[in-house]
Structure 1
Amino acid sequence: MSSVRSAAAGPPTRGATRVHGGPDARGRARWDFSTNANAAGPCPAAAALVREADATRYPDPSYRRLRERLAAWHGVAPARILVAASASEFIQRITAVGARLAPGPVAVPEHAYGDYAAAAQAHGRALCVSGHEGPVAGQRPTLRWCCDPSSPLGQDAPPPADLGSCATVLDAAYAPLRLQGRSTWAGAARDAVFELISPNKALGLPGVRGAYAIAPRDGCGLGADWADALAAAEPSWPLGAHAVAMLEAWVSDGAQQWLARQRDTLRGWKAELLALLIEAGAVAQPSVTPFVCAQLPPGVTAASLREHDIAVRDTASFGLAGRVRLNALPPDALQALAQAIGALRQPMSTSSTTPPPSTEGNA
Structure 2
Amino acid sequence: MSGPLRWSAAAPEHGGPDAMGAALHDFSTNSNACGPCPGALHAVRAADATRYPDPAYTALREGLGAFHGVAPRRIVLAGGASEFIHRITALAVQKGCVQVALPAHSYGDYAQAAQARGLALARAGEAGAGLAGLAGLQWACDPSSPLGRPDPAAHVWHAPADGGVPGVLRVLDCAYAPLRLEGPGAWTGRPATTPAHCWQVWTPNKALGLTGVRAAYAVAPAGAEGQVDTLVALAPSWPLGAHGVALLQAWLDPAVQQWVVGSLATLRDWKARQLALCAGLGWAVRAGSQANYFCARPDGGPDPQSLAERLAGLRGQGIKLRDCTSFGLPGHVRLGVLPPASQQALLQAWGR
TM-score (norm 2): 0.87
Tell me the equivalent position of 1:276: 277
Tell me the equivalent position of 1:122: 116
In 2, the alpha carbon distance for the partners of 1:174 and 1:55 equals 29
What one-letter code is carried by the residue in structure 1 that aligns with 2:292? P
Tell me the equivalent position of 2:247: 246
Query: Offset at 1:23?
Result: 1.3
Q: Deviations over 1:48-68 (max 9, x none)?
A: 000000000000000000000
Tell me the equivalent position of 2:216: 211
Gaps of at least 5 residues in structure 2 are 1-6
Q: Deviations over 1:164-189 (max 9, x none)?
A: 122100000000000011249964x5
Question: For 1:285-300, what aligned pairs fall within 5 Å after superposition?
Answer: 285-286=286-287, 287-297=289-299
Q: Deviations over 1:28-57 (max 9, x none)?
A: 211110001001000000000000000000
Tell me the equivalent position of 1:132: 130
Q: Is 1:104–1:140's contact at 8 Å kept on the other side of the alignment?
A: no
Equivalent in 4, 18, 29 of residue 23 of structure 2: 29
What one-letter code is carried by the residue in structure 2 that aligns with 1:126? A
CA RMSD of aligned residues (A): 2.0
Question: For 1:147-226, what aligned pairs fall within 5 Å after superposition?
Answer: 147-158=141-152, 159=154, 160=156, 164-165=164-165, 166-183=168-185, 187=193, 190-218=195-223, 223-226=224-227
What one-letter code is carried by the residue in structure 2 that aligns with 1:173? A
Query: Offset at 1:308?
Result: 2.0
Identity of aligned residues (%): 52
In 1, the alpha carbon distance for the partners of 2:175 and 2:324 equals 18
Instruction: Please identify, of 161-170 and 85-94, the stretch whose mean Cα deviation from structure 2 is larger.
Output: 161-170
Instruction: Please identify, of 245-254 and 298-307, the stretch whose mean Cα deviation from structure 2 is larger.
Output: 298-307
Secondary structure of the 1:34 match is coil
Question: For 1:4-15, what aligned pairs fall within 5 Å after superposition?
Answer: none
Q: Is 2:73–2:225's contact at 8 Å kept on the other side of the alignment?
A: no
Query: Offset at 1:16?
Result: 2.6
What one-letter code is carried by the residue in structure 1 that aligns with 2:257? Q
In 2, the alpha carbon distance for the partners of 1:148 and 1:23 equals 25
- Count of equivalent residues: 322
- Find out whether 1:86 has 2:80 as its counterpart: yes
Change (3 A) 1:277 1:15: closer
- Find out whether 1:333 has 2:334 as its counterpart: no
In 1, the alpha carbon distance for the partners of 2:9 and 2:49 equals 31
What one-letter code is carried by the residue in structure 1 that aligns with 2:175? A
In 1, the alpha carbon distance for the partners of 2:47 and 2:329 equals 41
What one-letter code is carried by the residue in structure 1 that aligns with 2:293? F
Q: Is 1:208–1:243's contact at 8 Å kept on the other side of the alignment?
A: yes
Query: Offset at 1:104?
Result: 1.8
Q: Is 2:317–2:349's contact at 8 Å kept on the other side of the alignment?
A: yes
Work out which of the two has the higher radius of gyration on C-alpha atoms and give 1 or 2: 1
Secondary structure of the 2:201 match is strand
Instruction: Please identify, of 295-304 and 78-87, the stretch whose mean Cα deviation from structure 2 is larger.
Output: 295-304
Equivalent in 73, 76, 88 of residue 70 of structure 2: 76
Q: Deviations over 1:130-188 (max 9, x none)?
A: 45376xxxx9210000000000001111423566122100000000000011249964x
What one-letter code is carried by the residue in structure 2 that aligns with 1:254? A
Query: Offset at 1:102?
Result: 3.2
Tell me the equivalent position of 1:96: 90
Q: Is 2:144–2:150's contact at 8 Å kept on the other side of the alignment?
A: yes
Tell me the equivalent position of 1:318: 327
Instruction: Please identify, of 226-235 and 28-37, the stretch whose mean Cα deviation from structure 2 is larger.
Output: 226-235
TM-score (norm 1): 0.85
Q: Is 2:292–2:337's contact at 8 Å kept on the other side of the alignment?
A: yes
Q: Is 1:284–1:294's contact at 8 Å kept on the other side of the alignment?
A: yes
Instruction: Please identify, of 139-148 and 324-333, the stretch whose mean Cα deviation from structure 2 is larger.
Output: 139-148
Tell me the equivalent position of 1:57: 51
Instruction: Please identify, of 254-263 and 14-23, the stretch whose mean Cα deviation from structure 2 is larger.
Output: 14-23
Tell me the equivalent position of 1:266: 267
What one-letter code is carried by the residue in structure 2 that aligns with 1:283? A
Tell me the equivalent position of 2:3: none
What one-letter code is carried by the residue in structure 1 that aligns with 2:54? D
What one-letter code is carried by the residue in structure 2 that aligns with 1:180? E
